A and B are shown apart, each in its own frame.
Chain A
């Protein structure tokens, strides 16, 4: 293992030539090329140049991670290009010596300014962009008016309200009143597009983001535009379902309220949600997510963009796998001998029993669902008692996009801390054999159901000490001498290290139920009690401590992880 810490795995790209353009009269220098949706360098567009100048150009169909379609026309911007003197082939100059600029105009009506779609128009040296001009404002107003012609304007009951680009741009660029007195075209409502998606065709502005996403990103050409003219409708083929493991990303992509999630539909006005940055615990990819919660209940998960991990996407199975966090069967209290007790009683009893255990008679089984800090603390316990350790392996199917075969977020953390070896689970048969022969008498299990992992209840019953922490009751907790209620990832802070070595922190969104506590808190107390050594009682201090002790993490600090993490060499 090397101690190199890099921000990215890729080498730095070669420097890109820069050209000068003016945005609303201000000269800026921008790269001549910019990576497109696939990361290939392409001529920088007017929209990207405006972004360099800190000017937002409104848009619907453009998305930086999708092929450019240029169909919504919302990003129209007035522009001008330097005039060339045909005789000298040099830029023509005004009397004051400044370059002469020809503003874009309609070819058949030279008095009328003509815009270009900023998302698809490359910039050229000396070009002037006028995103703040009256002509640009007029174009935006006209495009919005056109997009709203057949829109039902049902914001009062629309799920997208509060995060809708139609609403936002209407406030910024639209008209206060509608001039439309004709009858609106009615289109299909509440179309069951697939098992997780409902489509309202009347709200759709036909930007085709969903079509391009499923075709070009997921490779499932499932959606299209059927019918003609003002009857244009997004649809799947008859008898076909829009059903791949990434469909819910179209709900995020949809700039309006057309595509809605069956899971989140009509559940909550989005402005009531508290947003917490976190990491999906579903597999070893570690997609960055935002947990939307209200009054201590998780309402939805959304992807959070991180180009080093998941881009702006996440899989449907990960996104919908959050209901267990607030499940009613969660473990809420400490149990000693099956009876409710207190943390103080349980931890001091466990501590004193472990301290008197014969060397080598203790085994510890952790979980790749635990944070790196928790795995590190378990390893410290193991070191003290010379205990054999492992984590349970959970394998499943992988795909070509985001889903990893390892179905827990922190196998890399388990390996780096040394709680697991190169292959997770290879020590479990030895632990099982040790219990059988009686050489292992005490077992600490955190976050796994060993009965499901092939340890019979009878076998576990032979142990003189079985300490189990979990978040829900399992066959293993039911026979434990001590049951310690732990926390879901959304109820604590910590770090996961993904399969590629990305160290990422996750934050606390909701409170744990009852007296359940984050594992790192009570493990820290236990380590402190049995080793007598002083540790850190904050997650920041704990991470900084383990980063100093574990070679692959050398040089890292909690504060340096930022929101999107740091990649280390595994």
Chain B
């Protein structure tokens, strides 16, 4: 598979390079931008970034594997990030993630992000989402959901199955 970069995207990336004293300093911004566009960082995106910034592919691949926010595979349409840092852990984050996994038929014991075969959901543990007062919290795509119990979890899944259109609009989920 070859990577097709639309002209406006390439212009955006070229502009990024000008912000740094060295080309290679733009690596992370490149990866964020490419992931935003393609949904994940493919091996082709790694090669393309390396060539563009005058690096060896391994230099870029090191970054992609170091930072957990970079994805090497496409994510589900609804991306459920369950916080597991202290407050959420005490408030039952582990059970919450297990609940998501079991409902979606995913392996709750695996430590890496799990995606359903139909590509609709991805469930993973993340570190602190900075909402400790309303633990346990979950970030669904870009929407923060607080004090998530089993029933809220089920409605997140229902929303996801229905296309997630109301997820952002429904203020109920964020409280």
Contact = CB atoms under 8 A, between A and B. Distances in A.
Interface of A: 221-228, 235-240
Interface string B108-141: 0000000000000000000000000000000000
A237 B66 contact: no
B105 to A, nearest CB: 26
A236 B47 CA distance: 13
A221 B59 contact: yes
A226 B43 contact: no
A237 B56 contact: yes
Interface in B2-61: 43, 46-47, 50, 55-61
A235 B66 contact: no
B155 interface: no
B62 A224 contact: yes
B59 A224 contact: yes
20 contacts: A221-B56, A221-B59, A222-B56, A222-B58, A224-B58, A224-B59, A224-B62, A225-B62, A226-B62, A226-B66, A227-B66, A235-B58, A235-B61, A237-B43, A237-B46, A237-B50, A237-B56, A237-B60, A237-B61, A240-B58
Nearest to B65: A226
B173 to A, nearest CB: 32
A236 B66 contact: no
Contacts of B66: 226-228
A223 B43 contact: no
B59 A238 contact: no
Interface of B: 43, 46-47, 50, 55-62, 65-66
B61 A224 contact: yes
* Chain B facing A: main interface SS: helix
Per CB-CB distance, the 4 closest pairs between chain A and chain B, nearest first, are A221-B56, A237-B57, A224-B58, A226-B65
A236 B65 contact: no
Contacts of A224: 58-59, 61-62
A378 to B, nearest CB: 49
Contact of B46 (A225, A228, A236, A238): A238
A221 B61 CA distance: 12
Contacts of B59: 221, 224
B11 to A, nearest CB: 27
A224 B57 CA distance: 10
Nearest to B66: A228
A226 B70 CA distance: 13
B65 A221 contact: no
A223 B58 contact: yes
Contacts of A225: 62
B112 to A, nearest CB: 11
A234 to B, nearest CB: 10
Given A226-B66, A227-B66, A228-B66, A238 B56 contact: no
Contacts of A237: 43, 46-47, 50, 56-58, 60-61
Contacts of A227: 65-66
A325 to B, nearest CB: 37
A221 B43 contact: no
Nearest to A227: B65
Contact of A239 (B43, B50, B56, B60): B43
